[in-house]
Amino acid sequence: MSELLAVRSLSTLPVVTLGGDAVAHVKDTVLDAEAGCITGFTLTGRTLLSGSLPRDLPWPVVHSLGHHAVMVRDGKALCDLPLSMARRDALRGRLLGAQVLTDEGDRLGTVLDVLVEGGTSGRIVAFRFAAHRELVPGSRHRRHRMYVPRGEAVSVSGRSLVIPAQATTYVTDDLPDFMARVGAFHARRTGALP
């Protein structure tokens, strides 16, 4: 698995060509939660004080995504797009602040961030959310930050993110432990483990 990146950390990343030229900055990440991947980025100008650009960066033309930059082959990767369409797509793909519910109707909390694979994948791996106290026995905190895997049957309806109930068995507040649990889950599904 590639390095994990938090979607919130992608805002303001420079968009850089393989030749080293900065051509824009990421404004918003557009996600398709049901398909489980990044579909693109809305952009601002090359300086952080620049306004929104009437262009976007579709995922298929991204060469690589990392902690420090989004790499593209050249400046031609940016696509002209009416700004109203870019904003609409960004809002449609917005998961931050959505209520997390199980498919059995249990309310788990509120999405704080989305974890995606870097490199060339752009795949949504997990959600970081503020869990309700009931989910964390013995916790004195009203809200506790937890991770839950994307699962196989995620749906987004309005401002809700619905995950399979069995995904809650993988909920943890420790990211390395979470990654180990998800790895074991996928290994069992593919038959690599009993």
Q: Does 172 lie in the same domain as 119? A: yes
The 3-state DSSP class for residue 49 equals coil
Are 73 and 115 contained in the same domain? no
Residue 16 located in a structural domain: yes
For residues 57 and 105, state if they share a domain.
no
Q: Can you tell me the mean pLDDT for 111-125?
A: 90
Tokens 């449609």 belong to 92
The answer to whether residue 193 scores a pLDDT higher than 60 is no
Task: Answer yes or no: do 36 and 21 share one domain.
Answer: yes
Q: What's the whole-number mean pLDDT along residues 41-58?
A: 78
Q: Mark which of 92, 115, 137 sits at the end of a domain.
A: 92
User: CA–CA distance from 58 to each of 15, 29, 149 (Å)?
Assistant: 12, 10, 25
- The widest CA-to-CA distance across the chain, in whole angstroms, is 54
Q: Are residues 87 and 169 in the same domain?
A: no
Domain termination site, one of 37, 63, 92: 92
Q: Is residue 77 part of a domain?
A: yes
pTM of the model: 0.79
Residue 159 lies in a domain: yes
Residue 94: closest CA among 154, 35, 183, 7: 7
- In this predicted model, what pLDDT tens digit does every residue of 52-109 receive, in sequence order? 777 789 999 999 999 999 999 988 888 876 544 545 554 455 677 888 888 888 888 8
- Residue 125 belongs to domain spanning: 99-190
**In the predicted model, what is the mean pLDDT of residues 33-56?**
79
pLDDT for the residue 83: 45
Residue 3 has what pLDDT? 83
Asked whether residue 115 is domain-assigned, the answer is: yes
Among 124-128, 144-148, 152-156, the range with the most confident prediction by mean pLDDT is 124-128
pLDDT at 84: 43
Within this chain, do residues 104 and 179 fall inside the same structural domain, yes or no?
Answer: yes
> Quick one: 66 and 110 in the same domain?
no
Last residue of a domain, one of 92, 120, 145: 92
Q: Are residues 183 and 103 in the same domain?
A: yes
Q: Could you tell me if 126 and 153 lie in one domain? A: yes
> Mean pLDDT for the chain?
79
Q: CATH no. for residue 25?
A: 3.90.50.10
Name the domain count of the chain: 2
List alpha helices for the chain, DSSP H.
Answer: 83-92, 175-190
User: What's residue 133's pLDDT?
Assistant: 59
The runs of H, that is alpha helices, within 9-160 are: 83-92
Mean per-residue pLDDT, 9-13: 92
CB atoms within 10 A of CB 97: 10
User: In this structure, are 44 and 75 located in the same domain?
Assistant: yes
pLDDT at 154: 65
Confidence of residue 159 (pLDDT cuts 50, 70, 90): confident
For tokens 């593919």, name the residue.
190
Is 134 within the bounds of a domain? yes
Residue 43 is assigned to a structural domain of this protein: yes
Please indicate whether residue 91 or residue 121 has the higher confidence score (pLDDT).
121
Do residue 84 and residue 104 come from a single domain?
no
